Amino acid sequence: MQQLPDAPAPGLTSLSGFRGLRAELLVALKKAPHALTARELATRFDLTPNALRRHLQALEDEGLVRYQREVRGVGAPVFAYALTASGQALFPQAYAPVLTAVLQAVREAQGPEGLRAVLRAQWAPLVEGAPDRLRALPLAERAQLVAEFRSSQGFMAEATMVAPGVARIREHHCALREVADRFPELCAAEQELLEELLGVPLERTCHIPTGCSSCAYVAREPAVDPDRASDVPPSPTPERA
């Protein structure tokens, strides 16, 4: 069993102020595609549900976690936990009001395509030469490096191989959420950036602005021989929030 850590200091406004299990709980709830029960979390952290509830109660008292009654199949309803708006706000938000004003001015002057061009120019120095260096690597390694790059920007990204020649990059946090809600060009530019880095087209299967808990992209290696196109793995089923 894990040893229970001390409670964090009150009044914390960023994830960096939390230590040990409570920080891990916040991250687990952020990454989860749906609310999690105390039993589900206890299994994940090798604790008893009662021991874990003490930490969930502390996070609830701070207004960071809430629980809701859910019916899951046959049986009694369960209580499942999720982050509140204050809990979501603990994760980095890499935007400022001035950014919204600037993007609005660019879009009014140059239109949506002009705005996308500005965004591409902004990100270009960050990835200069990267596509050439990545091209020789297998898709799994390219996807992992791209996920690490996006995580360094605050997007909590991870990469997984879902089939031979098919990788998924999932971003559990949008560091530009409020801006992206107003400027869908940001999401389009992001997809172009990831496609450039990976060297293959991407299919977006989940999108935070539409209600999903994460943004997910599927990358698929092209068929080597056009006559063997049937060997390419089928498109994944679109995800639900």
Q: Tokens at residue 235, please?
A: 């498109």
**153-174, pLDDT tens digit by residue?**
889 899 999 999 999 999 998 8
Choosing from 88, 112, 130, the residue where a domain stops is: 88
60 inside domain: yes
237 inside domain: no
pLDDT at 186: 86
| Mean pLDDT of the chain, nearest integer | 82
**Taking Cα atoms as reference points, which of 134, 129, 209, 141 lies closest to residue 169?**
141
Q: Are 59 and 82 in contact (CB under 8 A)?
A: no
Q: Tokens at residue 171, please?
A: 């971003």
Q: Show the domain range for 76.
A: 15-88
pTM over 0.85: no
Task: Indicate which CATH number applies to the domain containing 165.
Answer: 3.30.1380
223 inside domain: yes
Task: Indicate which CATH number applies to the domain containing 44.
Answer: 1.10.10.10
Q: 204 and 157 in one domain? A: yes
**Taking Cα atoms as reference points, which of 189, 180, 182 lies closest to residue 113?**
189
Give one DSSP letter per residue of 55-82, joined into a string: HHHHHHHTTSEEEEEE--SSSS-EEEEE
**118-156, pLDDT tens digit by residue?**
888 877 776 777 888 888 899 999 999 999 988 878 898
Q: 113 and 197 in one domain? A: yes
Q: 135 and 103 in one domain? A: yes
70 inside domain: yes
